[in-house]
Amino acid sequence: MLENEALFDEVEAELKKRGSIQDFEEKYGKITGRMIITETEIPEELGIEINDPDVHSFKATFDFYNTAIGLALNVKTREAATKFWLTPQDDRNDVPTDSWFEFFAMILMEALDEGMDSIPTFSFANDSSDLTISGLGLLEKK
């Protein structure tokens, strides 16, 4: 399930108002899934403690899986500080497919190219493409 679905819905409403969702779907097809990447903490049960100010932890949540994918990495060097971890969000504990781990890592790296202000990221995806919005600038008052 999406973390902070209300915020995601707000971003989606703004994109619809601007015609971005409609343009995407006209060109690439219907959106079939949504993902948000946010900062997080490394779960205590992993027993990993990292005391490096350049290492940040991120997680991806989805509207079609009830398990979050997490990863800690050095935002300056882009080196992974941990392996991926999974955090069940309910009793279903469905595991994302490998392609979603890859998508999370790709979108995270692209967002970090823009700086830490690009987190959270909001991705609307289907089997052929994605529309990803980085940061909260879209929602800033005009």
What pLDDT, on a 0 to 100 scale, did the predictor assign at position 141? 55
- Quick check: is 135 in a domain? no
What pLDDT, on a 0 to 100 scale, did the predictor assign at position 142? 46
How confident is the prediction for the chain on average, in pLDDT? 92
Domain of residue 100, residue span: 5-124
- Quick check: is 133 in a domain? no
Beta strands in 4-127 (DSSP E): 33-40, 55-62, 67-74, 85-88, 121-125
What pLDDT, on a 0 to 100 scale, did the predictor assign at position 91? 84
CB 37 within 8 A of CB 59: yes
- Quick check: is 13 in a domain? yes
- Quick check: is 132 in a domain? no
- Quick check: is 136 in a domain? no
Indicate the SS3 state at residue 140: coil
Task: Please give the tally of structural domains in the chain.
Answer: 1
- Quick check: is 78 in a domain? yes
- For 52-105, what is each residue's pLDDT tens digit? 999 999 999 999 999 999 999 999 999 999 999 999 888 887 889 999 999 999
For the entire predicted model, the pTM comes to 0.92
- Quick check: is 137 in a domain? no
Indicate the SS3 state at residue 98: helix
Q: Give CA–CA dist 100/120, Å, rounded.
A: 17
- Quick check: is 52 in a domain? yes
